[in-house]
Structure 1
C-alpha cells in the first residue's frame, strides 16, 4: 500500500483559548518544517518570551487599519473584546503559489471569514479533552488577569458550541497523538 498523496493546500486550525493551538503548531512545525505556518498580525502587546515575526507581527492600531483598508489581510477579528488579530494575505498566497501546505492558526471569527473568502481551505477544530482541563490550562499559564480569564472563558464557551461547523474535530489530550492526527489530516 503506498503512502497517501501529499495534499498541498490551506488548512485552518481553530479552537478556544488555551486549548494548546500554539503548542501543537510548534511541535508540528518541528516535525514538518516544510509546512508554511502563517504568522498573524496583532495589536496586542507581546507576552513574555514572544518574538516579533515568529509568534506574531505586533503592529499599531494604525498599521492594522491600513492592512484592512488595502485588503492586506485574509481575515481579521477583534478577539476577547480586546485586541485585533489578522492573517496577512501576501505570505499565504506566495506559499500556496509555491505548492506548500499552509496552516492558519486562527480563532473562530477568522475561520468563518476564511470559509467565505477561501472556501477550499480545510477547517480543523482543536478541542480540549474537557471544560475543566481548558480552565486548568488557561489559569495555569498565568498570562491573564482574572477579568481577562473570565472574558476568554466566556468566548471559549461560544467557540466550543461552534465545533460542528468544522470539517474535522481533533481533541488535544496528549500532544503526540494530537500532532499525529494533524499530520494524517494534512497528509504529510
Structure 2
C-alpha cells in the first residue's frame, strides 16, 4: 500500500468523514480562520472526472524512498521552525498561513491534523531546490505518479549521469525536494488542498 500525497476535490473536502470526506477538517479550519480574522476557505475546485496525463489537474505521488537524506538536507538549510512548517503538515492548503494550524481532528496517521500554507511551503521548497541545484527536467506535473516513476524507472539516474551536481549526491532527497515543490505549486495553481493518505 504505502503512503500517498494526493490532491483533494470539493466533494471530498466538504464531505462527511463517514464517507472518507474531510468535512470535519474543513469546518475546523474555517472556524480557526474566522477566529484569526480571515475569510473561510470555501472555494475548492472539484477533481476532474476524466484523467488526462500531463494536464496537471490532479496530484498523486507515492512516498517510497527513505527520508533520512532529505531530513538531513532540511536540517542543514532550514531552521527548526522552518523544518516543522515544511515537513510537519498533514494537509496543505493554498492559503498564506504564517505558521501551521493544528486542529483537534484526526488525520490519516495521527490524532490531529496540521495545516500548512502552500505559499510558505513553496518558498522553503524553492530554497532547497536552489541549494541542491534541482534540474529543470524534473517532471512539472504529478498527476499520476510522475515523480515517483521518474525516480523508480531510471530517468532520474540517467539525468544524474548526464547532468551531475549537488542534486545527484542523494536522489532520494532530491525526490522529496521535488515532491514538496510540485505539491505546493499544484495547490496554488489549482487552489486545492493536498493530503497524505
Whether TM-score is above 0.5 comes out as: no
State the TM-score, normalizing by the size of structure 1. 0.26
Q: Return the TM-score normalized by structure 2.
A: 0.26
Greater share of residues in strand: 1
